[in-house]
Amino acid sequence: MLLASALSVPARVQSPQSEEQVMYEVHPGKVSSQITVGVLIFPGFEMLDAYGPMEMWGSLKHAPARFWGGEEKRVGVKLVTIAATRGEIPSNQGPKTVADYSYADSPKLDYLLVPGGVGAVPLVNDTATLDWLRDQATRTKIVMSVCNGASLLAAAGILDGRPATTNKMAFKDSTAPGPRVNWVKQARWVDDGAVVSSSGVSAGMDMTLAVISRLYGQPLGDWLEQITEYDAHRDPSWDPFAVKAGLVR
């Protein structure tokens, strides 16, 4: 009787998820255009400065077309790392990252990210790095910095006359290379169009989400927050660390 009863009930067949239900495309779809995002690394770079934004940029390939606003708007993102010379570059935390390219053979970039870290301090006097940054600033659409990565942009003259921010715990030292920069003491990030700077370490993820949302739409930024389970700060003026550092009251 139990067997007969079981056979009389139609088997439940799960239907494939509709396009509206899919939240993450494991196998990315076709793209309509391609961009290259370069990340500068150097001995002693801060890992989260670089890898937080890289996580956001690199995850975009898994966003379903509806978050882009349609298949025709989907963009492919190629992430590359660049250093003075190719090869393994040790981070401030220890683990090494392989630099795909050197200054001499770096590819054409659409966007450039400059992280900070203790290793950025001596580079404010490194001619090769500053020359490379100046050249990239004339070629890329947007240059972004995290933490005292802004010190390198300032030393290269890229921030002269522009508003910018940097790490609040080391604000005095980080801003020293940029006497002609309009340093903003209280800001999570500062978007000045072609140059976007952010505060310390984790602020790079908030900045990156804001830049991606500006370029490709807020739905895509919302999607990134959800799939990375990151509670982003969307207000660029949110900065309790400026108060804690005694920069503002």
Q: What is the pLDDT of residue 16?
A: 53
Strands (E) across 15-128 are located at 33-40, 75-83, 87-90, 96-99, 101-102, 111-114
Q: Is residue 19 in some structural domain?
A: no
Q: Is residue 121 in some structural domain?
A: yes
**pLDDT per residue as tens digits for the range 101-157:** 999 999 999 999 999 999 999 999 999 999 999 999 999 999 999 999 999 999 999
Q: Is residue 209 in some structural domain?
A: yes
Per the structure, the complete domain to which residue 61 belongs is given by: 30-244
The model's pTM is 0.91
* Amino acid identity at 25: E
Q: Is residue 9 in some structural domain?
A: no
**pLDDT per residue as tens digits for the range 15-50:** 455 566 899 999 988 999 999 999 999 999 999 999
Answer whether 40's CB lies under 8 Å from 115's CB: yes
Q: Is residue 3 in some structural domain?
A: no
Across residues 79-107, what is the average pLDDT?
98
Q: Rounded to whole angstroms, what are the CA distances from 114 to 51, 67, 105, 160, 249?
A: 11, 27, 18, 17, 29
> What is the domain count for the chain?
1
Q: Cα–Cα–Cα angle for 101, 105, 109, nearest 5°?
A: 75
Q: Is residue 119 in some structural domain?
A: yes
Q: Is residue 78 in some structural domain?
A: yes
Residue carrying structure tokens 């450039």 = 112
* Spatial separation of the C-alpha atoms in residues 160 and 125, rounded to whole Å: 17
| CATH number, residue 179 | 3.40.50.880
**pLDDT per residue as tens digits for the range 61-70:** 999 999 999 9
Nearest alpha-carbon partner for 145 in 125, 127, 182, 120: 120
Query: How far from the centroid of its chain's Cα atoms is residue 213's Cα?
Result: 12
